[in-house]
């Protein structure tokens, strides 16, 4: 768990820095242009993984359901989510958009219990509500 915690904290750091670049980019670029540049860059950076025999073989052997889940996550988050996020950045401050967008743990909390049948605990609920309360306070 300890290494997972450090990885999560590093992820938070990187995701905390990214909106600064996104906001600066949004000053002179449309959401569509930003997506095109971001995903072209991502594609070029990730392409070597597909070319590696181990990953390529694994990808080609994925069953249809697993592939659907991965593609659905990409479309919802990376396509629609990022596009709406970039559009919001053009209309609001990054310091407002990012916390509002970061209320997704509440959605995940509820849906993971309903769909994935994860265990409900009061600590998870309290933590999720505190996170959302923090967002509300930031946006006031």
Question: Tell me: the pLDDT tens digits for 66-120?
Answer: 999 999 999 998 889 999 999 999 999 888 888 888 888 888 889 999 999 999 9
How confident is the model at residue 41, as a pLDDT? Answer: 95
Judgement on whether residues 12 and 36 belong to the same structural domain of the protein = yes
pTM above the 0.85 mark? no
Q: Residues 34-46: what's their mean pLDDT?
A: 94
The residue out of 92, 111, 126 marking a domain boundary is 92
In a domain, 98, yes or no: no
In a domain, 97, yes or no: no
Judgement on whether residues 120 and 71 belong to the same structural domain of the protein = no
In a domain, 73, yes or no: yes
Query: For residue 140, is pLDDT > 90?
Result: no
Lowest-confidence range among 32-46, 56-70, 97-111?
97-111
In a domain, 115, yes or no: yes
Judgement on whether residues 86 and 117 belong to the same structural domain of the protein = no
Judgement on whether residues 131 and 110 belong to the same structural domain of the protein = yes
Q: Which domain holds residue 133?
A: 103-140
Judgement on whether residues 33 and 65 belong to the same structural domain of the protein = yes
Judgement on whether residues 87 and 115 belong to the same structural domain of the protein = no
Judgement on whether residues 109 and 82 belong to the same structural domain of the protein = no
Judgement on whether residues 82 and 13 belong to the same structural domain of the protein = yes
Q: How many domains does the chain have?
A: 2
How confident is the model at residue 67, as a pLDDT? Answer: 94
Report which of residues 5 and 87 the model is more confident about: 87
Query: For residue 35, is pLDDT > 90?
Result: yes
Measured between alpha carbons, how far is 53 from 69 in angstroms, rounded to an integer?
23
Judgement on whether residues 77 and 25 belong to the same structural domain of the protein = yes
How confident is the model at residue 1, as a pLDDT? Answer: 60
In a domain, 122, yes or no: yes
Q: Residues 19-27: what's their mean pLDDT?
A: 91
Judgement on whether residues 79 and 115 belong to the same structural domain of the protein = no
Judgement on whether residues 13 and 72 belong to the same structural domain of the protein = yes
């Amino acid at each position: 768990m300890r290494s997972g915690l450090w990885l999560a904290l590093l992820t938070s750091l990187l995701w905390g820095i990214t909106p600064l670049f996104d906001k600066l980019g949004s000053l002179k670029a449309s959401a569509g242009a930003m997506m095109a540049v971001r995903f072209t860059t991502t594609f070029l950076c990730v392409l070597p993984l597909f070319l590696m025999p181990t990953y390529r073989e694994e990808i080609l052997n994925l069953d249809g359901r697993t592939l659907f889940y991965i593609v659905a996550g990409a479309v919802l988050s990376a396509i629609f989510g990022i596009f709406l996020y970039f559009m919001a950045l053009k209309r609001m401050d990054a310091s407002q958009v990012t916390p509002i967008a970061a209320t997704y743990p509440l959605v995940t909390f509820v849906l993971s219990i309903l769909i994935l049948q994860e265990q409900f605990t009061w600590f998870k609920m309290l933590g999720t509500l505190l996170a959302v309360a923090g967002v509300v306070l930031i946006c006031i």
